[in-house]
Amino acid sequence: MIIAVNQTKSNFANEFCINYDNKTVYNGKVSALSSLRQNSLLDLNGNAVLNTKRHPSFVRQKVFGYIQSAFIIAVILVIIEFISNNILKIVYSGCFVLAYGILTGFIKRKRKRNCVFNAENSEIAEFYQHADGFLKWCYIISTESKIFKLYTRNISSYEHISIYSDGIQVGQIDRLRHMTNNKRNYTLYLLDGQKDMANLLSLFVLYYDSMNNASRGGGTLGKSKEWSWSYSKTNKYYNPTWVQIHFADDNWRMK
């Protein structure tokens, strides 16, 4: 199954058209104001099928992150103040900063948390970024019956997100980082055995766009090109031949 999530309105609005195997089935909406606002998967009549709402901890983590950064900067300034007077204080201060960073940052288990609600306003899933080891982050889609781990990798002009379930890759999201009029287009490749998760994964694309790529508060016309490379422990989860093996008839990257 191939799902195309293509942006139709950009700059001061973030709206998407969502096609399942070349048939338009849904529209999508990402807030043009803030990542704190909800993202919605809509039917063709404009009714919400699924939407995200920020988890109560989302705002607290943002505020705490600012306080944490300010605290660490203050400690560093103290170290600089005493650098020429007392080496022992420098060592103690450095150890304290490192311990504080580990306890409050590196092992923070969940961030960017959003709850997922269906049309009946019942919570059915959760999206968040998860510390999958030391300095090793992934995204999580958690439902009552399934857990997906999603690992990102940037290679030149492409952005890839590999989707795993029970240690096996079951999907991949690709985005060409070249844009026209600031419109972003994603392609979701999903194995047939995961078709029941198509709506939820389509909503995840909107959530991911909101958290990482959405344009807000400005406008761009014309063509733009971006290049990026990621260097992370999670790079190993990207299989460059996975799409070619499972979707041999689709060669959009070679066009």
- Rounded distance between C-alpha atoms, residue 76 and residue 132, angstroms: 28
Torsions phi, psi for 98 (to 5 deg): -65, -45
Which residues make Cβ contacts (< 8 Å) with residue 158, sequence separation at least 6?
174, 175, 176, 177, 253
| Alpha-carbon span 171 to 78, nearest angstrom | 49
The C-alpha atoms of residue 135 and residue 114 are separated, in whole angstroms, by 22
Classify 216 as helix, strand or coil: coil
Show me where the domains of the chain are located: 2-55+111-254, 59-106
pLDDT in tens, 42-93: 999 999 999 998 876 655 555 555 566 666 667 776 666 666 566 655 565 6
The helix or strand, by DSSP H or E, that contains position 82, with its residue range, turns out to be: helix 56-82
Q: Which residue has the higher pLDDT, 3 or 113?
A: 3
- β-strand partners of 140: 128, 149
State both tokens at 100.
């504080």
Bridge pairing between strands 223-224 and 23-30: unpaired
* CB-based contact 47:72 (threshold 8 Å): no
Could you tell me whether strands 158-165 and 2-9 are parallel, antiparallel, or unpaired per DSSP bridges?
Answer: unpaired
pLDDT score for 172: 97
How confident is the model over 87-133, as pLDDT tens digits?
655 565 666 655 555 555 544 567 788 999 999 999 999 999 988 76
- CATH 3.30.565 is right for the domain spanning 2-55+111-254: no
Higher pLDDT, 219 or 9: 9
Q: Per-residue pLDDT for 253 more than 50?
A: no
The H or E element spanning position 180 is strand 179-180
